[in-house]
Structure 1
Amino acid sequence: MLKLLKITVLLGMAVSLSGGLYAQTYTQTPVTISKDKTRVGGKIYYSHVVQDKQTLYSICKAYGVTIDEVCEANPELDLKNNGTKKNTIILIPVRQDAETVKVAVPAAAPAPEEDVQDGYIIHTVKWYEDINDISKKYGISVERIMQVNGLEKKKLKRRQKIRIPVNDIDGALLYPSGNSTKKDSSLIDNHAAGEKEESEEDYSFARKRDLNAVIIMPLTAGRPAGSNNMDFYCGALLAIEDLANAGISTELSVYDVVQGKVPVTRERLEEADVVIGPITAKDLATTLEIAGNKTTVVSPLDHKAASLTEGHKNFVQAPATYNRQYADLIDWIDYDKRRGDKVIVISESDGKECELSRLMDESKIEHTDYSYNILSSRRVISDLTGMMTSDGVNRILISSENEAFVNDVVRNLNLMVHNKHNVALYSPARIRSYDNIDVENLHNVNLHASSSYLIDYDDPKVKAFLLKYRALFNAEPTQFAFQGYDVTRYFLGAAAEYGSHWRKKLPKIQLQRMLQADFRFRESGDGYINQGVRRVVYGPDFSVKIVK
């Protein structure tokens, strides 16, 4: 019998399911000292994420501080009365003798943004773009772009400014704040019911208020996979509730994947406007085989599933790939680079070639390549000293996915910073998850990270989501809960706006900033891959700033 849970926004069921999933014998969880630090009001604190079964006493004992000190550092949490809750971030005072030496840091130029002037978007041409890319991005013909900008030839120059008439841009999805209780959706305007617009392929894009969706993922698996996927599911339920508040109802069917078996029929998938999941590339391939060509299948979490776009026109990759992060880092360096700066690409001499090196060569950005073997690295400091400039910023890329090598480079760069060299390291966000890298070193080398996921806790929409999630599930939302909301909200929103053939509109929808991810899709292979990434900069004062 198929393991099927059918819902029409049944939030109560989610609470009972999650309660059952977490039932277990009590065992105290060991406390690991956090590597993340932050500066608040001139004082330095550890940022500790509370794990299941950790107590305030056990946390304070591990950090060598008193309960009163921690409570004073977190007055808004009222820890003495409320205790600790899983996934809550609490500040732990750092003893004065534990503070590190401050180092100089280069001033980073702001990320390029599209400016709007007198009814035109001013687009700055990236090194990897041509006029056809810009045409697809905004849904405007090449001829119209050439006409507006007085261009005689299609060839564009890097950093050239191009005017895009706002009135000609294809309509983008609009998203309510997430805490509205109004029934009139900002996603659905006052167009007459049944009104359609035609594409070049004569597809109908009638808006829909009644949606049908499927989520496929392991929910009854053991920890951590089962609990992570349940968090994703709970975030998805809140997205469906927000759509309901906007006047859009959703019939949702949830299928539990057990030991790689996807228990769903082609007939059920063909009824769905959106199919989200499964998680792994292998299970996604199985689902695509079951679905045929009609049903759109969304990959919600696996970065490596992007290869499935080859041969599957109905496949959509939601997480931005590592190659997309690489391209963004190169674009970021190209924008930040000033006269007197130097760009250095460091790689492992006997290691696997990284895609980043190839993309860097294609970019035509002037740079110096340097490689060494981690086992014979005595000359690295002297080599880097001879290579680096003293007149500007040394902008560094590490072209390696070997954690041990990346750690060695970061350690050496940290020594260069203490030797008064101005350094800025550009890296994919996974460097932040490497266990052997001291986070203080990432601050010292002024890490510029490009990430598929990043939560801005100052964002009002994020704050509203946190309050709602805590109230409903009595827990802190994990990264998986945020992703569940973002993926479900975006793709069901697209189906509501453009109807059954919403997938055809993806390349024309403008960048959408969700809670923790940005979505902007481009055709790749036969399917669609997300190009949206977020940027974060680690400062020497232990600040972590999102660059918009």
Structure 2
Amino acid sequence: MRYLFVICFLLQFYVAPAFAQAYKYHTVKKGETVFSISQAYNIDEEDIYKYNPDARNGIEINEKLVIPISGSENKPAQNVNIDFKEHVVQRKETLYSLSKQYNVSIDEIKKYNKQLYSKELQTGETIRIPIERKAEAAQTKPKESILNRNKPSENPAIQTKKTREHIVLPKETKYGIARKYGMTVSELEDLNPNVEVLQPGMMIRVGTDVLKDEPVIITDERFHFYEVKPQETLFSLSQRFGVSQDSLMKLNPGLVDGLKSGMVLKVPEKENPDYDPASAISYNPNLENKIDLSGEISNFKTKQLVLMLPFHTEKVEEDSLATYKDVILNERVVRISLDFYSGVLMALNKAKSLGINTDLQVYDTHQNSSEVANIINTHNFNNVDVVIGPLIQTTTEIAASKLENRNIPVINPLSNSSMNGYRNLFQSRPTDELLRKVMLDYISSHAEGKNIIIIADGKSYQVKNQLSQRLPSAKFVNPTDNFVADNKIVNLLQPGLPNWVILESDNINVVSSATSALNRLARDYDITLLTTNKNSAFESDIISNNHLGKLKFHYPSVDREYDNTRTEDFINDYVAKYGIEPNRFALRGYDLTLDILLRLASADSLYDSFERYPGYTEYYESKFHYIPNTTGGFINDAVYILELDEDLTINDAK
């Protein structure tokens, strides 16, 4: 009776303030910032920081923010809203001319295009112009009673689950309640869709299973609650919080049934200072530690390997090899698959010489997602250690999703596209974004004592902004009509100093004119040419390799340059087996497969190998170092910075 009285008292005490200030959750979408969110809700940025102090350190996609949406702390609604018009900057346009054209102040334009506080308008750049419009009449909704707001969900799928009532106690959180009843926060929110902010005395729906350890609120300062994000794994969490996977299991008995998104875990209060999920592609000190796994072989169990590639055997007519030869000649993806496969077989032979036996199963995916799903559904994958392939992004994601619940690693061999996150998906080829990030780190760390000049066209404004933030003293050259003239550069060069010129463009005319001009100026100045993205424009026949060599061209790369002397033994063995020299896809198949087999032979599993051997591995043309990817799964962050010398040899940059 006394307990019921206390609950009623709390209910009376908290119902009144509940209507003075209301809140809602906002899920952060791609491209949103704290500023844009504050504008959408007509509140100050400080209002968001007040309820979400961690937002000062940045916000992430799918992160939930508490937004005050009514009450005395909110500003009164304005009688105007802001629309925006996207404007592509034309030649000779200025902030002044745009302010006159659109009848807005220069400060207003800068307010919604913050890069303009530190740099001038760039031709081809797209900016947002604020345009006022009258607000539509607000549709006011009657306030719901606390009973209506807390009634159970009407979703029939949720109603079929057994639930019970729970009265919220002071200081209880969704994390604590979800953990107490063995639920995820999402499941708790699904049962109570109208409850955005918990108040003591509220009655909510919960599950019926109560964990033996009922940590409703953690008072031990060494630990706190953490909600598992999509595609996080025990391995990535152990790295994030600097504890072993076994320790996480002991702290969270519910993990015996597996880890899932939304689960609430008890974790150490302090995170591993070397782990930064917001910049998982940052420089990693383990990349300085090269390891040779051939001397660490201890697991001699036969490795179960599956190779899934698009061979398109369905196009072979009965008893007709000539037809398939035509397919090979006409379809690049088939040629790549066969070359890669030949490298895989060479790696299996090498592994066998080291005492590693492999059972290889090969499947033709037909470059079709349905076929990939069919292969997995109709064959036994229970004992498979690793799947290599499929070749392209979409089929790889299907394979990873089908095998995720069995935690079978799926290794994509060649794609550099950002992929949907699955906790068992390994992207062995760094993305273009990662290559650019590594090159930016390299430039920033070596910029001291250099005169930095940045040549970037309008399409490259994003990387130009990144460079300007990292290199505040850099000078800029803007191409005119896709042309870079000598006189635009010469006045910025410094005699007696190393001049680093960073060229960012995929336009052949810009690259050609800039490299030609720099080559002429290099007679009188010390010039080094760099780029964060060696795209096809640099490979054009119009671009002189002699010019690039004279300019000591630096660029990021996934692979080392093909070197006959380094790979002589492999080439001889390959020629003896196939009658032709290997290409880069054959070398990639060899390097990737041998790395996987050595990792499996030196640990209990692929995941275990990362904990035992945190350094990087390197073979003929590729190196591997997998880290948790921000989107889920793992990505190889081992990247080469290469330098083209004047004699046209390519070496690792110093």
* TMscore range, shorter length: 0.5 to 0.7
How far 1:487 moved relative to its partner? 0.8
1:426-474 Cα offsets, whole Å, 9 max, x none, are 12444553343222221122201221012452665x2221111111111
2:279 maps to none
2:296 to 176, 179, 187: 187
Q: Is the 8 A contact 1:486 1:516 kept in 2?
A: yes
Query: 2:404 aligned with 1:295, yes or no?
Result: no
1:369-418 Cα offsets, whole Å, 9 max, x none, are 3322434x47x321211112112121122233444433333233223324
Matching of residues 81-480 of structure 1 within 5 Å: 174-176=292-294, 186-189=295-298, 207-220=299-312, 222-223=328-329, 224-260=332-368, 261-262=371-372, 264-266=375-377, 268-293=380-405, 294-304=407-417, 306-308=418-420, 310=421, 312-339=422-449, 341-349=450-458, 351-354=459-462, 356-364=463-471, 366-375=473-482, 377=483, 380-418=485-523, 420-427=524-531, 428-430=533-535, 433-455=539-561, 457=563, 460=566, 462-480=567-585
1:520 maps to 625
Residues 358 and 285 of structure 1: CA distance in aligned 2, closer, same or farther (over 3 Å) = farther
Q: In 2, Cα distance between the equivalents of 1:241 and 1:435? A: 39
**1:271 is paired with a residue of what secondary structure?**
coil
Residues 456 and 546 of structure 1: CA distance in aligned 2, closer, same or farther (over 3 Å) = farther
Residues 348 and 482 of structure 1: CA distance in aligned 2, closer, same or farther (over 3 Å) = same
How far 1:303 moved relative to its partner? 1.0
Q: In 2, Cα distance between the equivalents of 1:435 and 1:507? A: 47
How far 1:140 moved relative to its partner? 9.9
Residues 265 and 466 of structure 1: CA distance in aligned 2, closer, same or farther (over 3 Å) = same
Q: In 2, Cα distance between the equivalents of 1:388 and 1:531? A: 34
Residues 435 and 318 of structure 1: CA distance in aligned 2, closer, same or farther (over 3 Å) = farther
1:531 to 637, 642, 645: 637
Query: 2:652 aligned with 1:546, yes or no?
Result: yes
**1:222 is paired with a residue of what secondary structure?**
helix
Q: In 2, Cα distance between the equivalents of 1:140 and 1:342? A: 44
How far 1:210 moved relative to its partner? 1.0
Residues 287 and 404 of structure 1: CA distance in aligned 2, closer, same or farther (over 3 Å) = farther
Query: Gaps (5+ residues) in structure 2?
Result: 1-235, 245-271, 275-284, 313-326
Q: In 1, Cα distance between the equivalents of 2:382 and 2:477? A: 53
**2:555 is paired with a residue of what secondary structure?**
strand
1:62 maps to none
Residues 140 and 537 of structure 1: CA distance in aligned 2, closer, same or farther (over 3 Å) = farther
Q: In 1, Cα distance between the equivalents of 2:502 and 2:600? A: 40
**1:288 is paired with a residue of what secondary structure?**
helix
**1:413 is paired with a residue of what secondary structure?**
helix
Q: In 1, Cα distance between the equivalents of 2:361 and 2:574? A: 21
Matching of residues 5-16 of structure 1 within 5 Å: none
Worse overlay, 240-249 or 430-439: 430-439
- Equivalent position amino acid for 2:451 in 1: K
Q: In 1, Cα distance between the equivalents of 2:409 and 2:385? A: 8
Q: In 1, Cα distance between the equivalents of 2:584 and 2:364? A: 21
**1:465 is paired with a residue of what secondary structure?**
helix
Q: In 1, Cα distance between the equivalents of 2:239 and 2:535? A: 30
**2:513 is paired with a residue of what secondary structure?**
helix
Using CA pairs under 8 Å that are at least 6 residues apart, name the structure with larger relative contact order, 1 or 2: 1
Q: Is the 8 A contact 1:511 1:520 kept in 2?
A: yes
Query: Gaps (5+ residues) in structure 1?
Result: 1-132, 142-152, 156-163, 177-185, 190-206
How far 1:527 moved relative to its partner? 1.3
Q: In 1, Cα distance between the equivalents of 2:481 and 2:608? A: 47
Q: In 2, Cα distance between the equivalents of 1:540 and 1:257? A: 45
**1:424 is paired with a residue of what secondary structure?**
strand
Residues 279 and 366 of structure 1: CA distance in aligned 2, closer, same or farther (over 3 Å) = farther
Q: Is the 8 A contact 2:387 2:409 kept in 1?
A: yes
Q: Is the 8 A contact 1:234 1:484 kept in 2?
A: yes
Q: Is the 8 A contact 1:455 1:515 kept in 2?
A: no
Q: Is the 8 A contact 1:136 1:507 kept in 2?
A: no
How far 1:295 moved relative to its partner? 1.8
Residues 507 and 352 of structure 1: CA distance in aligned 2, closer, same or farther (over 3 Å) = farther
Residues 362 and 238 of structure 1: CA distance in aligned 2, closer, same or farther (over 3 Å) = farther
Q: Is the 8 A contact 1:506 1:521 kept in 2?
A: no
1:485 to 568, 590, 609: 590
Residues 370 and 172 of structure 1: CA distance in aligned 2, closer, same or farther (over 3 Å) = closer
How far 1:219 moved relative to its partner? 2.3
- Equivalent position amino acid for 1:423 in 2: I
- Equivalent position amino acid for 1:264 in 2: I
1:200 maps to none
Residues 172 and 391 of structure 1: CA distance in aligned 2, closer, same or farther (over 3 Å) = closer
**1:454 is paired with a residue of what secondary structure?**
coil
Residues 322 and 154 of structure 1: CA distance in aligned 2, closer, same or farther (over 3 Å) = closer
Q: In 2, Cα distance between the equivalents of 1:467 and 1:212? A: 28
**2:399 is paired with a residue of what secondary structure?**
helix
Identity between Structure 1 and Structure 2 (%): 20
Q: In 1, Cα distance between the equivalents of 2:561 and 2:243? A: 32
Q: In 1, Cα distance between the equivalents of 2:525 and 2:363? A: 55
**2:491 is paired with a residue of what secondary structure?**
helix
Residues 344 and 517 of structure 1: CA distance in aligned 2, closer, same or farther (over 3 Å) = same
Q: Is the 8 A contact 1:210 1:249 kept in 2?
A: yes
Greater Rg by CA: 2
Q: In 2, Cα distance between the equivalents of 1:480 and 1:450? A: 19
**1:372 is paired with a residue of what secondary structure?**
coil
- Equivalent position amino acid for 2:488 in 1: D
TM-score (norm 2): 0.49
